[in-house]
Amino acid sequence: MKIGIIGTGNIGATIARKLKAAGHDIRVANSKGVNGVRAFAEEIGAEPVDVRGAVNGVDLVVLSIPLPALSALPSDLFSSVPDGVPVVDTSNYYPVLRDPRIAELDDGMTESVWVAKQIGRPVIKGFNNVLAYTLAELGLPKGSPGRLAAAVAGDDPKAKETVMSLVSEAGFDPVDGGSLEESWRQQPSTPSYCCDYDAATMRKALSMAVKGQAAAKRDELPKHFAKLGANASHGEVVAMNRSFNPLD
Ligand SMILES: NC(=O)c1ccc[n+]([C@@H]2O[C@H](COP(=O)([O-])OP(=O)(O)OC[C@H]3O[C@@H](n4cnc5c(N)ncnc54)[C@H](OP(=O)(O)O)[C@@H]3O)[C@@H](O)[C@H]2O)c1
């Protein structure tokens, strides 16, 4: 597939590397224009583009930029992109740790529903409930014992299926997280969020999520990170995430 990826940070760059390695034709864009992304593109064998080049003439788009930046993308960015081209949203909302407060999200709107509103078209939520380290280092081939899972949510069954197959190519068992509206179940500090679970456990975790409970836990994160210290290991972060929502 021809895949355009906007954002070449922790998540976007890893998705780009993995999907390039899986044989896809990758275009990458960041905030710095074609020349600003050229070195990374050359390193992985992708085409450097600007944000318009990442969405026009591709089969699928991945948006992997900070959530508030999604509302600052050009308002006509997707106007020439056919409806059948899936747009994947990897974003998460962290108002206390990183992002400015967004009233609609604080009032309970599902994050990716808000994202879809900002860009003026539906999205598929994917790659958001695995940590960057997990995505880069802990993927395994399909069928491997202990393979970890990542949730995928959205309303268009065909687009969701396509994104689920990309999640698998990236090394993870894709788990259907339901509709876009229901994707609050895979948002920060829910039971399924960044806990390095296998598919069966992730399904259980998604089903145990209680609407409205995660935001307060998420906003306590600075306190928990302070306790862990600056050099927390990946295992310590995962254990902390699991401790917010015990499954037994
Ligand atoms: N880090 C994680 O563990 C993790 C896990 C799952 C999901 N996520 C979510 O995935 C998204 C990306 O996270 P990340 O950790 O990869 O972020 P990151 O490392 O900060 O990278 C963000 C990328 O977005 C680009 N960008 C920012 N504004 C842009 C704009 N207006 N136009 C084009 N590109 C723009 C940046 O460009 P420059 O390179 O030019 O600055 C950078 O490449 C976030 O919403 C995050 O919450 C993160």
Pull the structure tokens for residue 42. Answer: 């050359």
Tens of pLDDT, residues 52-93: 999 999 999 999 999 999 999 999 999 999 999 999 999 999
| Structural domain boundaries enclosing 80 | 66-183
Q: Is the pTM of this model over 0.95?
A: yes
Question: Nearest residue CA, atom 41 of ligand 1?
Answer: 31
Tell how far the Cα of 155 is from the centroid of ligand 1, in angstroms. Answer: 24
For a ligand 1 pocket test, name from 6, 10, 97 the mutation site with the most ligand atoms within 8 angstroms of its C-beta: 10
Tell how far the Cα of 176 is from the centroid of ligand 1, in angstroms. Answer: 24
Ligand 1, CB cutoff 6 Å, lining residues: 6-12, 29-32, 36, 51, 64-67, 69, 72, 90-92, 128, 131-132
Please tell me which residue, 185 or 96, carries the higher pLDDT value. 185
Task: Examine the pLDDT at 186 and tell me if it is beyond 90.
Answer: yes
Please indicate, yes or no, if residue 72 is contained in any of the structural domains.
Answer: yes
Residue 29: per-residue pLDDT: 98
Tens of pLDDT, residues 10-48: 999 999 999 999 999 999 999 999 999 999 999 999 999
Residue 103: per-residue pLDDT: 97
Residue 107: per-residue pLDDT: 97
Please indicate, yes or no, if residue 231 is contained in any of the structural domains.
Answer: no
Terminus-to-terminus CA distance in the chain, angstroms? 41
For a ligand 1 pocket test, name from 15, 64, 128, 138 the mutation site with the most ligand atoms within 8 angstroms of its C-beta: 64
Please indicate, yes or no, if residue 94 is contained in any of the structural domains.
Answer: yes
Q: For residue 68, which amino acid is it?
A: P
Please indicate, yes or no, if residue 115 is contained in any of the structural domains.
Answer: yes
Task: Examine the pLDDT at 169 and tell me if it is beyond 90.
Answer: yes
Please indicate, yes or no, if residue 126 is contained in any of the structural domains.
Answer: yes
Strand 173-176 to strand 149-153: parallel, antiparallel, or no bridges (unpaired)? parallel
Pull the structure tokens for residue 190. Answer: 């829910």
What confidence tier does 165 reach under pLDDT thresholds 50, 70, 90? very high
Please indicate, yes or no, if residue 51 is contained in any of the structural domains.
Answer: no
- Mean pLDDT, the chain, rounded, equals 97
Tell how far the Cα of 143 is from the centroid of ligand 1, in angstroms. Answer: 30
Please indicate, yes or no, if residue 84 is contained in any of the structural domains.
Answer: yes
Task: Tell me the percentage of the chain whose pLDDT exceeds 90.
Answer: 98
CATH at 144:
3.40.50.720
Residue 70: per-residue pLDDT: 97
Residue 21: per-residue pLDDT: 98
Please indicate, yes or no, if residue 215 is contained in any of the structural domains.
Answer: no
Tens of pLDDT, residues 128-147: 999 999 999 999 999 999 99
Task: Examine the pLDDT at 96 and tell me if it is beyond 90.
Answer: no
Task: Map 158-197 to HEC letters.
Answer: HHHHHHHHHHHHCCCEEEECCCCHHHHHHCCCCCCCCCCC
Quote the strand ranges of 30-80, DSSP E. Answer: 47-48, 60-63
∠ CA 41-126-168 to the nearest 5 degrees? 75
Tell me how many domains the chain contains.
1
Residue 1: per-residue pLDDT: 98
